[in-house]
Amino acid sequence: MEDSSLKRFGVSMEGHLLRKFDHLVTQKGYANRSEAVRDLVRDALVQQSWELEEQIVAGSILLFYNHHQRNLLEELTTIQHDMHDNILATTHFHLDKASCLELIIVKGKAKDIKLLSNKMTSLKGVEYGKFIVAPVEHV
């Protein structure tokens, strides 16, 4: 059973670290430190769920690449077709004559999504790749 009541606890940290944290709280627009700490804890739990291979996760894979790279488009298409059960949608943007940005929305077991992301981001011609994860099951 989920306990949604608020609990208080203390946190100790060095003054210089607290000043930097307070600056972050203000910069990001949090009403108070507690909201910021809750977000940090949620993010840490999401990242941990990504490490559990059987956990169902959803998210997006962001790829920046040079579409002139030999065989890259064919390789990306083959990988996506081979793992089509994990791909919900894709969006492709032409940034300039050579550069493309592709956003791939995915869902599945963490181990399968890791494999998909790693296969695409490691291809020659992919200049930057990042997977942003969110657990499907509540943290």
User: 41 burial class (0-12, 13-18, 19+ CB within 10 angstroms)?
Assistant: exposed
Q: Is 100 annotated in some ligand binding site?
A: yes
Residue among 89, 133, 131, 86 nearest 108 (CA): 86
Q: Is 92 annotated in some ligand binding site?
A: yes
Look up the pTM and report it.
Answer: 0.70
- The predicted pLDDT at position 4 comes to 75
Q: How are beta strands 99-109 and 56-66 bridged, if at all?
A: antiparallel
Q: Is 81 annotated in some ligand binding site?
A: yes
Instruction: Specify the DSSP class assigned to residue 84.
Output: G
- For 57-87, letters b (16+ CB in 10 Å) and e give bbbbbbbebebebeebeebbeebbeebeebb
- The predicted pLDDT at position 81 comes to 96
- The predicted pLDDT at position 122 comes to 94
Q: Which residues of the chain have pLDDT under 70?
A: 1-2, 49-51, 135, 137-139
